[in-house]
C-alpha cells in the first residue's frame, strides 16, 4: 500500500461527502431521517444514492486492471439512512454500473455492492435510534469493506491477481471509505440539529411574542389589539411588514406598504381572501402571488395564516418580506405556531366573554352555585385534552357529570362528609387538570369523621374561593389543603391556601356581605351553617396579605337527620 493511494482515496471520499451535504439540505432527505417518506420517494432516493455510488466508481483510482473507489459510501449511506430496500436498490444501481465497466473484478464488485447495501439496511433495522450515530456507521463501513475484500478473494479470477489487488487496496479503501460513511452520518446529524435548533428558536420566539400580546388579545380581535400585536411582532425584527385582518378588513399593518394596506385603503389582497375562504395557510413567493392592487407596493413575498375561533376563521396573520422567494421552513414554523397561540387566546377570550354574559344575566348553573366561568373553563380544558389525553378527558367528563348529578339531587340536603368530599375531589381534579403543576392539593382527613353529616355544597365553594381569589392571582400557583378532624364536641374542617391572602382591613368577607360580593360563596356558606346549626357555628377566617388564607368551620357531630333539630 502506497501513501499516494491513501491520499488520493481521501480526495475521492470528499466528493461523496460533499454530495451528502447537499442532499442533507433537501426536505425529502430530512423526512426520510424520521422515516416519514412514501415508497415513491424512497425509490427516488435510492436512485440518487446509486448515482453517488456511480460517481465514486468514476472517481476511482486504477489499480491492476481494477479500481480503488469510494462507491461503497453512496451504497451503505442509502442502507443506513433508508433501510434494506434503499440499500440493496442503490447497490444494484451502482454495482450494475460497475459490472458493465468490465474487468476481472467486475462481478465481484457488483456483488459486493449489493451485499454492502443489504448489510447497511440490516444495521438500520436493528438500530432504533434516528439518525444512526457516526461510530455505528464507521463500524458498518469497516465490516462492509472487509466483506468486499472477502468477496473479491472468493470470486475474482485469477486468484493471484485478486490477492495482489486486495493486498494493495484493502487498507486504504477500508479506512477511507469507513471514515467517509461516518462523515456522511455526521453531516446528517449536524443538519438535523441545525433544523431542530432553528425550530426551537422560532417556537421560543413565538411564545415570547404570544406572552407579550396576551394582555391585548384578551380584549378580542379589534383594531387596538391587532395594532398592539402587529407592533410587537414587527419589533421582534426580520420581517418587512406585519398585518392582521378580520374577515372583512385590515385591522393593522406595520412596516413597508403600511400606507396603502391600512387606513381607508385597507381592502384585502387576493391571497388573504383565499386564506379566509379556505382556512389553510398560504405562501406567496412573488408580488404577483400576494395580489396587492397597489402598483408601487414593495412587498414581494409573504406567508398568510388563518386565525380561528373553534373551526371558524375570524381573521389572518400576515408576515411579509420585501424580497421574493424569502419564505422558508422557519417562517412557516413561526407563523403557524404564533397563529395557533393567537387563535387559542381568542377562543379563550370568547369563552370568557360568554361566561361573563351568563353571569351578568344571573344564570345559576344547575341551581348549585357552580360558577359559569368554572363550567366554561372546564369544558375548554376537556376540549384541549380530547386529542392529546383522551383517557383524562373522559375521566374529567365523568367527574363533571358527577358534580351535576350531585347538585341536582343533593341541593339543600345534609349528606355525609364522605359524600361531600367525593364531590370536592371531583371539583379539585378538574381544576388540577386546568392549572397543572401550579395547583397542588393536600388532604388530611381522619377516617372517623367521614360518617358525620354536613350541608351539601359547603366545602366546594370555599375551595373554589381559595383557588380563584387566593392561588390564581399568584403567578407560581400554590397549594390548597383540606383537613378534617374529630374533637370531643364537634367536627373541625380547615381549608387552607398559601395564596395572595386577603386584606381584612379593607372589609371582612364574613361581615360585610354587600361589600364582598366577589366572595359571596363564603358568606353563603357562613350564613347557611349559622342558620342551620346556630350562631355558635359558621366560618372563621384568618388571612394575611401575601401569606395565604385559612378558613375553619365547626360542625356538630350528627349521624342522622333527626338529630339536626336538637343540635
- Reported as a pLDDT band with limits 50, 70 and 90, residue 359 is very low
Which CATH architecture describes the domain 3-195? Orthogonal Bundle (1.10)
From CA 47, how far away is CA 344, in angstroms rounded?
Answer: 45
Q: Would the CA dihedral through 283, 289, 294, 296 be positive or negative?
A: positive
**Any idea what the Cα angle at residue 20 is, between residues 14 and 24, rounded to 5°?**
145
Given a contact cutoff of 8 angstroms between Cβ atoms, the answer to whether 317 and 303 are in contact is no
Instruction: For helices 106-126 and 134-155, give the axis angle rounded to 10 degrees.
Output: 150
Name the grid cell of 129: 435510534
Nearest to 86 by CA among 127, 38, 133: 38
**CATH 3.30.565.10 in the chain, residues?**
364-563
- Claim: this prediction has a pTM higher than 0.75: no
pLDDT at 33: 56
Four-CA torsion 492, 495, 501, 504, nearest 10 degrees:
-30
The model's pLDDT over 423-464, given as tens digits with 9 standing for 90+, comes to 888 888 888 888 888 899 999 999 999 999 988 878 888 888
CATH code for the domain defined by 218-352: 3.30.450.40
Could you tell me if 73 and 15 are in contact, meaning their C-beta atoms sit under 8 angstroms apart? no
Q: What is the DSSP string of 498-522?
A: -SS---GGG--TTT-TTTTGGGHHH
Work out the pLDDT band at 341, boundaries 50, 70, 90: confident
Cell 438500520 found at: 124
Q: At 567, which helix (H) or strand (E)?
A: none
How large is the average pLDDT for residues 385-397?
79
Q: What is the residue whose three cell numbers read 359558621?
A: 538
Is the domain covering 364-563 a CATH 3.40.430.10 domain?
Answer: no
Specify the pLDDT at position 383. Answer: 81
Q: Locate CATH 3.30.450.40 in the chain.
A: 218-352
Distances (CA, A) of 57 to 10, 234, 351, 549: 14, 52, 66, 79
Pairing of strands 66-68, 61-63: antiparallel
Amino acid at each position: 500500500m502506497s501513501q499516494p493511494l491513501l491520499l488520493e482515496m481521501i480526495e475521492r471520499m470528499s466528493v461523496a461527502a460533499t454530495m451528502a451535504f447537499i442532499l442533507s439540505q433537501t426536505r425529502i432527505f430530512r423526512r426520510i431521517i424520521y422515516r416519514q417518506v412514501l415508497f415513491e420517494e424512497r425509490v427516488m432516493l435510492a436512485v440518487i444514492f446509486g448515482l453517488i455510488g456511480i460517481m465514486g466508481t468514476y472517481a476511482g483510482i486504477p489499480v491492476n486492471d481494477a479500481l480503488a473507489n469510494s462507491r461503497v459510501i453512496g451504497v451503505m449511506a442509502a442502507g443506513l439512512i433508508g433501510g434494506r430496500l434503499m440499500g440493496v436498490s442503490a447497490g444494484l444501481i451502482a454495482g450494475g454500473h460497475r459490472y458493465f465497466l468490465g474487468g476481472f473484478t467486475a462481478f465481484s464488485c457488483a456483488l459486493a455492492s449489493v451485499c454492502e447495501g443489504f448489510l447497511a439496511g440490516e444495521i438500520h433495522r436493528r438500530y432504533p435510534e434516528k439518525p444512526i450515530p457516526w461510530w455505528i456507521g464507521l463500524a458498518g463501513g469497516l465490516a462492509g469493506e472487509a466483506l468486499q475484500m472477502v468477496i473479491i478473494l472468493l470470486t475474482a479470477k485469477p486468484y493471484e491477481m485478486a490477492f495482489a489487488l486486495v493486498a494493495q487496496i484493502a487498507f486504504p479503501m477500508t479506512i477511507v471509505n469507513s471514515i467517509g460513511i461516518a462523515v456522511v452520518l455526521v453531516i446528517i446529524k449536524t443538519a438535523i440539529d441545525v433544523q431542530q435548533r432553528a425550530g426551537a428558536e422560532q417556537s421560543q420566539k413565538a411564545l415570547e411574542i404570544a406572552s407579550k400580546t396576551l394582555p391585548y388579545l384578551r380584549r378580542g380581535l379589534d383594531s387596538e389589539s391587532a395594532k398592539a400585536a402587529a407592533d410587537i411582532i414587527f419589533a421582534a425584527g426580520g420581517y418587512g411588514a406585519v398585518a392582521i385582518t378580520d374577515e372583512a378588513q385590515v385591522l393593522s399593518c406595520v412596516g413597508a406598504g403600511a400606507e396603502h394596506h391600512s387606513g381607508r385603503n385597507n381592502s384585502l389582497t387576493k391571497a388573504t381572501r383565499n386564506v379566509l375562504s379556505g382556512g389553510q395557510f398560504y405562501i406567496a413567493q412573488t408580488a404577483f402571488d400576494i395580489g396587492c392592487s397597489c402598483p408601487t407596493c414593495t412587498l414581494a413575498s409573504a406567508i398568510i395564516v388563518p386565525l380561528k375561533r373553534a373551526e371558524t376563521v375570524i381573521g389572518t396573520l400576515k408576515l411579509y418580506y420585501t424580497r421574493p422567494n424569502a419564505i422558508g421552513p422557519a417562517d412557516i414554523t413561526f407563523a403557524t405556531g404564533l397563529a395557533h397561540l393567537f387563535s387559542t387566546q381568542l377562543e379563550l377570550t370568547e369563552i370568557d366573554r360568554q361566561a361573563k354574559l351568563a353571569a351578568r344575566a344571573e344564570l345559576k348553573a344547575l341551581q348549585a352555585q357552580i360558577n359559569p366561568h368554572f363550567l366554561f373553563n372546564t369544558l375548554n380544558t376537556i376540549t384541549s385534552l380530547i386529542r392529546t389525553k383522551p383517557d383524562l378527558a373522559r375521566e374529567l367528563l365523568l367527574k363533571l357529570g358527577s358534580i351535576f348529578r350531585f347538585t341536582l339531587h343533593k341541593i339543600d340536603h345534609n349528606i355525609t362528609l364522605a359524600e361531600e368530599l367525593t364531590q370536592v375531589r371531583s371539583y379539585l381534579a378538574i381544576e388540577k387538570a386546568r392549572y397543572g403543576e401550579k395547583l397542588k392539593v393536600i388532604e388530611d382527613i381522619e377516617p372517623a369523621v367521614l360518617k358525620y353529616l354536613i350541608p351539601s355544597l359547603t366545602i366546594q365553594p370555599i375551595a373554589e374561593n381559595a383557588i380563584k381569589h387566593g392561588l390564581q392571582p399568584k403567578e407560581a400557583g400554590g397549594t390548597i389543603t383540606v383537613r378534617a378532624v374529630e374533637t370531643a364536641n364537634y367536627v373541625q374542617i380547615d381549608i387552607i391556601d398559601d395564596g395572595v391572602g386577603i386584606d381584612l382591613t379593607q372589609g371582612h368577607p364574613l361581615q360585610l356581605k354587600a361589600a364582598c360580593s366577589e366572595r359571596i360563596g363564603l358568606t353563603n356558606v357562613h350564613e347557611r351553617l349559622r342558620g342551620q346549626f346556630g350562631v355558635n357555628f359558621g366560618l372563621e377566617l384568618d388571612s394575611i396579605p401575601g401569606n395565604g388564607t385559612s378558613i375553619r368551620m365547626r360542625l356538630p357531630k350528627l349521624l342522622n337527620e333527626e338529630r339536626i333539630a336538637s343540635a
